Structure 1
Amino acid sequence: MTTNNPQKNSDDFNKNADSAQDHTAPILNPEPALAAAAQAEQDKTQTTNESSDAPPKIKVSNVKEASEFGKVAVIYGGNSNERSVSLDSGAAVLQALQNQGVDATHFDPKHQDITELRQYDRVFNVLHGRGGEDGLLQGVLQWFNIPQTGSGILASALGMDKVRTKQLWQGCGLSTAPFSILTAETDWQQVVNMLGLPLIIKPVHEGSSIGMTKVNNLDELPAAYATAVQCGDVVMAERWITGREFTIVIIDDEAYPVIRLEPADITNFYDFEAKYNRNDTSYYIPCGLSISDEKHLQDLSLSAFRAVGATGWGRIDAMQDEAGNFWLLEINTVPGMTSHSLVPMAAKAHGMDFESLCWHILAQTV
């Protein structure tokens, strides 16, 4: 991963940051930066291990031998719009498990009968998008009584529905960006009056930023809606939050070090190209927040994760506006595991390499 895009306009945001983090720079060579972050995390744990506020250590896996997993299906591919990402994620997970002696096999529901899963002892789900992330696969596996990674039926279905997730968070008193559901009959001017400009237009049931468009003026709204509705019949408009974007990885009910994301074009958003294909997105670890603000964002994300009923592992995306307020965007219950993905990045900053991460997640099913 290579990055450029020096940190711009960061002075206003970092006024409250601790002096040790005031000059956070983008990761130009990720390996030394991640190693330093992992060492800093270990040092922080060692120096505060007598305090009740000390961060928990990585949980030791209860599985010591690969044979304890039995026969494992790594499910990836599928039929969703995120198939290409799933193929990359799943191949990486499969290789990591096989490297550690796990009897793991690729299972692609696009080409295989789902009932064939009955021959497996457990499932590592890397099936992004509809069919794998929305409760459908979770229901099949529960019916078959096959242990699986990640969240169950309810949390998966909720997490895949951006509107219901946000409604739930609002009901729990958790801050999330204001939004409105759109239809072909929507009064566009009324939407702008309510949410302002710019706006982000999103399909409600897609991931990986598929079908999303940033709208800067009223005239762009109909075309943005037309793009989003091609990905599903439910579309939403969300207030554009001007500020910094963060992602918070959660594993075993613990929030890992926060990552700040900065696309090469800071006026745009972290879209599909920036997530998976471009090499000019900047990732900041440490994220540039003060210790107290990072802890607050981690706690907010944990509350959001728990509110949905998510378990095992996942990711929360959030923004910080120019006034310093945090806004939840969405939850991802089957996050990417590609070379550009954020879960492996956060895990490595926490002291866990990719193979150990895959073992750890699979061990949650035992």
Structure 2
Amino acid sequence: MEFMSDMLSGADAGKPSLFELVAQQKMTELLEPALRHITSVYAHRYPRYLIRILNWHEEVYAAIMLVVERHYLRNYGGSFTEHFYGIKRVRMRQIGGSNALTRGDVWGSLVFLVGLPLVKSRLDQYYDRVSGGDAARLLGNVFSQQRNAGVASQAQESGQQLEEEEAAAARAADPLAKARRKIAALRVATKRMFQQYYPHANCAYHLAAAFYYVAYMFDHTGYSSPWLHLLGLQIRRLSAADYRAMDERGPAKSGLAAPPNGSILRLMRNVVARLLGGGLDLLKVALPLSIFFYRFLEWWYRSDFHRRVQQTPVPPPPMPMRPHPDGVAVPFDQTICPLCEKKRTNPAMASSGYVFCYPCIHKHVSDQGTCPVTLTKVDPAAIRKLYADA
């Protein structure tokens, strides 16, 4: 890989290869689904607190990345994933003999790093709703035509209804009916126009990115994306001088830091700024690890190893103890729970060797502390769930 990187970057050692840029872009695309997966897992456990965050995940993620990307752009001259791969952004036009990013460059980069992906994600979701989503992509034009016919019929019915309302309003001298009808017609026309032209705009978006990638690979341009071209920024590798400057500067500070003036409030503010800056710096280790862990789990659950583990038969339970005369009677049908006397579901075995429904045995042991059949002492932690009920 290093040989290919040096070969494609030519004589300019500071120019990153296309492989590095693509890897950095793929890592950026993996951040959002990884955090969504973590949020969805905990939202199922604590829906009262996290379900709203899951519903507005794109906006919450954009707000978090706005803080993270601003921190890395201000302190390291590149986005979070760019700094992870050892590259930075530089100005083509120097200001005061320096090509470091200005405040305008930072906010312009944030627009394309955070704002543009958020807008495009919402537009993609809206297009899926108005175009039929996966069914339209699966069934093709037939489904789309049927859906469009349904939309047209609904629009026609709504138009007839509005005409009747307009006629009634005209008789009642209501001037708002005509305005409502115009607004409804404008909404229908806008939706049709969006459904018709958004695929072309989306195609142009991806073609522009691909065009710049190809031109960058063959040294026809120094810009790796059209957005960087608009901002006048290029991607360069971090040099040894950049790393020395980072080491000499020490831990990065957030924008909350201010010169000390002897007051306690200013001291607390600087302490919070240092902690925040240190926490954001820690993300360059924590987030990649979470992404790799997410990808590992995704591979594990799709692999044959996971299926083999699930198909491994559960070892037979220990020999059940002798039932106590005062205990619960054991049904003749071994698929019946002795406690609820119904078909056993979610089976679990007590340390005495008898199998019950998990809610039944857990509640009984938590209240009584004994096995309902043998009346021997049982610890709730000793209850074992069975994933292959024999």
Larger radius of gyration: 2
Fold conserved between structures, TM > 0.5: no
Q: With structure 2 as the length reference, what TM-score do the two structures score? A: 0.22
With a CA cutoff of 8 Å and minimum separation of 6, indicate the structure with the bigger relative contact order.
1
Q: With structure 1 as the length reference, what TM-score do the two structures score? A: 0.23
Q: Identify, as 1 or 2, the structure richer in strand.
A: 1
Q: Identify, as 1 or 2, the structure richer in helix.
A: 2
